[in-house]
Chain A
């Protein structure tokens, strides 16, 4: 009796499974891990992988496991996983290009645990404690400047969305600064500019269009310039000037590169402007 029952269950299951797999010839199945977060990820991953009658991929957002059925005579798991990575998702075999990962919507930005951190190009070993302390201070400001440069690059690209996100980063970096670790001159400057800087970064973060962001960025750059004078960064920074912006009154900004890339006009007048001071 029991065996008959088993049979009854088995037949439809068998039918079902054959009707599903029937489309893919020479089918082979493998399970692999693909990183990702949410349902949106699932959609992107599956549509990147799937090919009618050749590949069918099913990804589970909780286990991060993907079951891939594919036509062994036409493709292989490497090809499929490469497409998934090109869509922005790291997996066992491939790491997504940085551009592809950066292009994912916010909710899909999974933690990139598979990606090995870059080995620091210069590891400076110092035994002098004051030097270490100073470098901590420098580091405090360094991350602020790093965020500022990223914001500037977004404005160069006329990318309102990224600029907004970078402004959020900047404001959180500004809030992190530990004032007790600043020396006198730094403290003095910091007290003058930090409120303005936080206000400006918040205005950029909430601005709806690029014009509003650029106006705030003009004021912010003046404050950053003052801060830079006392920051003692390791690398030179270029203070640059565009004579046209702000109704011909001109505006300045800071850049890591000597080559001019104008954040006030972007590609409209990319190389308008010149370096007026190099701060080392």
Chain B
């Protein structure tokens, strides 16, 4: 009897071993500091095993991945496996799911691969992804693939340090628009550009509605790369070959348009999951999104261009398929910025919210930006443009109805298998994506990650998220550790994805079955939006403790620090009549600001004002503050000044506490009312940085003490500008302004 038991047990063990015969695939990744030259200058970057992008990792479904990360940096790092279904502590978000990989240590990731498809991996620490830490993660199907393959990892490169990029975005610094305008006229959208374009009215309305120059992307990039090169070549393919391209957008904040010189593009998978093949002329790939496409090489001894153009159409990167004479794809023409502004004017309400005029936009079908695409809506002053004025509202923004170019959108994606969620109670969440371009605050329901609690979910329930994008930019929203289905009219066959691109004014519904445990991040994958706090954490109730995070509370505080970070800004005008400067230290809600005017002589006076306050409201137009004011000036014969309210003031020597409130009016005029500890009132109107031309900025100020100021600034480089101003205290002066 006993024998029998043993035999059965033995057979069972053998069977088990056989069924789960796991092949362990090991990779060793060495993260190192490196110097690279992508755009004319040697810059610091991070490489893995000496290369950027990180090595392409290959596995087969059913394998166990064992990956050793050797951190040879002087700082900590992390690796997140984007799109993979894995145990929570393997997800790689430092301080949330996984221990950070400290400098000089080795961390081992080990997880079974329960899916197949194209995925990627990247650092989830600070801004490391921008400087090289991204790579392809490919899991092959168990059965052999019938098509030859090629992987295309897209990325963006800037010579500016990512920290600098981030800091400047928070200061609404427009240097990147100036750089773009060097390549594409009109990209700065200044008043001069508006006049040349005969669109002054549009620009005025734009400023009336408190909008800065509109941008389809925030950052100026020096280069866009395919597998680390501006032009990559895959010469091994011949005529008639069908090739499966695995396209991964590993860039930090760039969307790409994809086109192929050799004909149609057949989309076969997205974010790792197969879709019913759909043939298109072009598609846009969001940040962190993945598409697998099949293309054919139509003729002999020719290399065909697979062209990726940044959404702002400033630069391209390409992959040449085949060998021989190079067949170019036709490039995308520059955007019609003022058409875009006009569209925004129509859509934005005076309170800063967006109004879709009852169009119920969703799933990338109505692209408001088509008004800026010459290939769809015609070049400016073309007959084509005029005709659209009569066009029906329902088609006004539908790219596929407006032209015979077929552009992929989410309503065209259909899963080949049923994706219906199990019958279970559904938790419904409404997320409004919110943002403030001017102060670069990005949030969900006007709250950042650190300003909210984790969202608790129960294993076994379904979670449905209704997203509405009330901001002026598109956002690629990514969910860790799960696939969600996009409810897109294909019912049971709705496609599965883990990144959802949502355009301004769109409403999209996604849903997933809660089947895991632990904490999972849901965030905008534009690196600088994520670091500003645009995300949420889903947390499973009753999850077991995470062995990698012995002190979860402390760890969470570390994570929250990311979006609470303060940004520093400094500006001083070294002028002939004195120094005039400003310093700011601010984060999502709080700002400490000090201004000074220092003459070279006593009679010009010395003056300084410091404010500390908090921004309120979704649009952050309201800013109450407390401050301190100090001034000294040597005046002639005790000259006494009187203000509008009949209050007297010596100006000679004063130090006072003050309370005030600033409010941003239309035309971005900042109204500032304050009362100081001497009971003195002051009202002031001020507008800074009016973009007269590409590089020329004007500032104006007037207040109830009869003080006024007017200034002009000509921006020479990202730090230096020539300036001239007239000030009622210090008179006329000229000099240069230094901005940090």
Contacts and interface: CB of A to CB of B under 8 A. Distances in A.
Interface of A: 82, 85-86, 92-100, 114-119, 153, 156-158, 261, 266-271
Nearest to A96: B328
B409 to A, nearest CB: 14
A82 B404 CA distance: 27
A94 B402 contact: no
Interface string B382-393: 011001101110
B327 to A, nearest CB: 4
B331 A86 contact: yes
B583 interface: no
A115 B324 CA distance: 11
B49 interface: no
Nearest to B299: A116
A97 B261 contact: yes
Given A86-B331, A100-B330, A119-B299, A93 B404 contact: no
Given A93-B326, A94-B325, A119-B239, A267 B387 contact: yes
Contact of A118 (B299, B301, B326, B390): B299
Interface of B: 239-240, 261, 298-302, 325-331, 383-384, 387-388, 390-392, 395, 401-404
B328 A94 contact: yes
A158 B395 contact: no
A118 B325 contact: no
A95 B395 contact: no
A270 B402 contact: yes
A94 B391 CA distance: 39
Contacts of A158: 383-384, 387
B402 A116 contact: no
Given A119-B239, A119-B299, A156-B404, A267 B388 contact: yes
B384 A267 contact: yes
Contacts of A93: 325-326
Contact of A269 (B325, B326, B329, B392): B392
A116 B392 CA distance: 42
A6 to B, nearest CB: 44
28 contacts: A85-B328, A86-B328, A86-B330, A86-B331, A93-B325, A93-B326, A94-B326, A94-B328, A95-B302, A95-B325, A97-B329, A100-B330, A115-B302, A115-B327, A116-B299, A116-B300, A116-B301, A116-B302, A119-B239, A157-B404, A158-B383, A267-B384, A267-B387, A267-B395, A268-B387, A268-B390, A269-B392, A270-B402
Nearest to A101: B330
A271 B239 contact: no
Contacts of A92: 325
A116 B299 CA distance: 6
A57 B391 CA distance: 45
Nearest to B239: A119
B330 A261 contact: no
Given A95-B302, A158-B387, A266-B387, A271 B395 contact: yes
Contacts of B239: 116, 119
B383 A82 contact: no
A97 B391 CA distance: 30
A116 B240 CA distance: 13
Given A95-B302, A100-B330, A116-B239, 13 more contacts: A86-B331, A97-B327, A100-B328, A118-B298, A118-B299, A158-B383, A158-B384, A266-B387, A267-B384, A267-B387, A267-B403, A270-B401, A270-B402
Nearest to A90: B325
Contacts of B388: 267
Contacts of B390: 268
Contacts of B302: 95, 115-116
Contacts of A270: 395, 401-402
A97 B330 contact: yes
Nearest to B329: A97
B391 A268 contact: yes
A43 B403 CA distance: 32
A102 to B, nearest CB: 10
Nearest to A153: B404
Contact of B328 (A95, A266, A268, A269): A95
B237 to A, nearest CB: 14
A119 B404 CA distance: 24
Given A86-B331, A119-B240, A266-B387, A271 B401 contact: yes
B328 A117 contact: no
Nearest to B383: A158
A31 B239 CA distance: 30
Ordered nearest first, which 7 A-B pairs have the shortest CB separation?
Answer: A97-B330, A116-B299, A99-B330, A95-B327, A118-B298, A270-B401, A94-B326
Nearest to A114: B325
A153 B326 CA distance: 28
A93 B404 CA distance: 30
Which of B299, B327, B383, B387 gathers most chain A CB within 10 Å? B327
Contacts of B328: 82, 85-86, 94-97, 100
Contacts of A153: 404
A153 B299 CA distance: 25
B330 A98 contact: yes
Nearest to A157: B404
Interface centre among B261, B325, B387 (most CB of A within 10 A): B325
B298, B328, B329, B331, most chain A CB atoms within 10 A: B328
B391 A267 contact: yes
Nearest to B388: A267
A266 B302 CA distance: 35
A268 B330 CA distance: 26
A229 B19 CA distance: 60
A115 B326 CA distance: 10
A86 B327 CA distance: 10
Contacts of B402: 267, 270
A54 to B, nearest CB: 16
A175 B340 CA distance: 49
Contacts of B391: 267-269
A75 B383 CA distance: 38
Contacts of A266: 387
A153 B405 CA distance: 12
B439 to A, nearest CB: 39
A98 B329 CA distance: 8
A92 B324 CA distance: 10
A222 B298 CA distance: 35
Contacts of A271: 395, 401
Q: With a 10 A CB-CB cut-off, give which of A92, A93, A97 has the most chain B CB atoms.
A: A97
Contacts of A119: 239-240, 298-300
Nearest to B395: A270
A119 B388 CA distance: 39
B64 to A, nearest CB: 43
A163 B401 CA distance: 20
A214 to B, nearest CB: 14
A266 B325 CA distance: 37
B195 to A, nearest CB: 26
Nearest to A262: B401
Contacts of B387: 158, 266-268
A95 B401 contact: no
Nearest to A85: B328
Residue with the highest number of chain B CB atoms closer than 10 Å, among A95, A96, A117: A95
Contacts of A97: 261, 327-331
Contacts of A100: 328, 330
Nearest to B390: A268
A93 B301 CA distance: 12
B373 to A, nearest CB: 13
Contacts of B331: 86, 97
Contacts of A269: 391-392, 395
